[in-house]
Structure 1
Amino acid sequence: MKDIIKKSLESTYTYQEYKDLVRSLLAEGKATGPNQSEDITNYSMLNDKRMKRLDKTIKISDQTISAIQNLKEPQTWLVLTEGWCGDAAQNLPVINKMAELNENIELKLVLRDENLELMDLFLTNGGQSIPKLIVLDKDHNALKTWGPRPAIATKLVADYKATHGVLDAQLKEDLQVWYNKDKGKSTQDDFLKLINSSIAQEV
C-alpha cells in the first residue's frame, strides 16, 4: 500500500493547479480522464463554474475552525478526483477551505483515472467512487478516509436507489438541490467527527 501511495504522491496537484488543469482542458474542449464526450465536457464546465462560486461563498463554522486549528501533527489530505465529478465539485471547495486553516495540513489532489491502483485500495462499497479523501500521517500511513459525499447525502442516495431501483437524472437534480441548501455544513460535520476521533487517538 505505501508504495502505491508514494507513487501517487509523485503526481499530485495543489487545489489551484487542479482548477487550472480543468480550465485549460476545457479551453481545448476536453475533460480530465481518458473518456471524452460532450456530456462529460459539459459536466466539467458546470463544475468549474460551481467551484468558482463555492470558493467565494462557502463559510467554515467556528466549531470547525477551532477543531482543525487544534491538529498538531503534520498530515496530508490526499484526494482522488476528476473534473467531471459533481460530488467532487461540491466538496473540494469546502475541503480546501478547511485545509487552509492549518499549516500542518497539506492538501494534494490526484486524478482517479491516472491512479487506479490507489483508487482500488480505497473503494466505496466495491466502487471507484470519488471524491475520496485519504488522511496520511507524516510517514504516509493511511489514517482515515472520507467520501465520496457527506453521510447525509450518502443516505439520500441509498434511500433513492432503494425506492426507485436506479440512480437517474432526477436523483442528480435532488442531490444538487440538497447541496445548495446544505452549503457545505454536512461535509464540515463529517470532518469534525474525523478530527475528533483522531485527537482522541492521539490522547
Structure 2
Amino acid sequence: MKTIIAQSFLNAFSYSEYRNIISQLIQQGKSTGDEQSNDLLHYSKLNETRMNRLDKTIHVGIESLQELNLLKYQYYWLVLTEGWCGDAAQLVPIFNKMANVSNNIELKLLFRDENKPLMDLFLTNGSRSIPKLIILEKETLQLKGTWGPRPEGATKLIKSYKQQYGVIDNTAKTELQLWYLHDKGLSTQNELTTLMHHLEQLEHNTRK
C-alpha cells in the first residue's frame, strides 16, 4: 500500500491545477477520465459552473475553523476525483476551503481513472466511488484515515431512494444536488473536523 500511495502521490495536482485541467479539457470538448461521451461532457460543464459558484460562496464555519486551528500535526488530504462527478463538484471546493484556512493541511488531487491501483485500495462497497479523501501524515505519507464519497446525510438520501425505487435516476441526482445546496457544506465540514480531531488524539497517544 505504501508504495502505491507514494507512486500515486507523484501524479497529484494542486486545486488550481486540477481546475485548469478540467477547464482545458472542456474547451477541447472532453471530460476527464477514461470514458468520453456527450453526457460526461455536459456534467463536466455543469460541475465547472457549480465549482465556480462554491469557490465564491462556501465559507468555513467558526467551529470548524477553530478545530482546524487546533491541529498539531501535518497532513496531506489526497483526493481521488473526476471532473464529471457531481459529488466531487460539491465537495472538492469545500476540501480546498478547509485546507486553505489550516496551516497543517495541504490538499492534493488525483484523477481516479489515472490512478486505479490507488483507487482499488479504497473502494466503497466494492465500488470506485468518488470523491475519496485519503488522509496522510505529511512527513511519511503514512495512511491515517479516509473519508467519502459523501457526507452521511447525502449517503442516507441516496440509499433510501435506491431502496424505494431500485435505481439512481435523474430525479435522485436532482434531489442530491438540492441536498448539497441546502446543506451549504456544513455536514462535510463537521464530519471532517470530527475525524481530524479523532486522528489527532490517536497520533498524540502514539507519540507519548
TM-score after normalising by structure 2? 0.96
For the 8 Å contact 2:65–2:101, the answer to whether it is kept is yes
Partner of 1:27: 27
Distance 1:174 1:190 in 2: 21
Query: Aligned-pair distance for 1:162?
Result: 1.0
> Which runs of 4 or more aligned residues in structure 1 lie more than 3 Å from their structure 2 counterparts after TM superposition?
none
Partner of 1:105: 105
Partner of 1:153: 154
Query: Aligned-pair distance for 1:38?
Result: 0.6
Distance 1:157 1:24 in 2: 32
SS at match of 1:52: helix
For residue 56 of structure 1, what is the amino acid of its counterpart?
A: K
SS at match of 1:106: strand
Q: Kindly report the root-mean-square deviation, in angstroms, between the aligned alpha carbons of the 2 structures.
A: 0.8
Query: Aligned-pair distance for 1:93?
Result: 0.7
| Unaligned residue ranges in structure 2 (runs of 5+) | none
Query: Aligned-pair distance for 1:19?
Result: 0.2
Partner of 1:186: 187
Distance 2:59 2:106 in 1: 20
Distance 1:189 1:106 in 2: 18
Query: Aligned-pair distance for 1:199?
Result: 2.4
Query: Aligned-pair distance for 1:200?
Result: 2.2
Query: Aligned-pair distance for 1:85?
Result: 0.3
Partner of 1:164: 165
Partner of 2:88: 88
SS at match of 2:134: strand
Partner of 1:119: 119
1:133 maps onto 2:133 in alignment:
yes
Distance 1:151 1:80 in 2: 19
- Show CA shifts across 1:81-105 (max 9, x none): 0000000000011110000112221
Query: Aligned-pair distance for 1:193?
Result: 1.6
Distance 2:16 2:124 in 1: 27
Paired-residue identity, %: 50
For residue 71 of structure 1, what is the amino acid of its counterpart?
A: L
For residue 197 of structure 1, what is the amino acid of its counterpart?
A: H
Partner of 2:58: 58
| Unaligned residue ranges in structure 1 (runs of 5+) | none
Distance 1:175 1:87 in 2: 9
Query: Aligned-pair distance for 1:186?
Result: 0.8
Distance 1:122 1:80 in 2: 10
Distance 1:127 1:77 in 2: 21
Distance 1:59 1:19 in 2: 19
For residue 29 of structure 1, what is the amino acid of its counterpart?
A: G
Between 1:26-35 and 1:189-198, the stretch displaced more is 189-198
Query: Aligned-pair distance for 1:27?
Result: 0.5
Query: Aligned-pair distance for 1:117?
Result: 0.4
For residue 133 of structure 1, what is the amino acid of its counterpart?
A: L
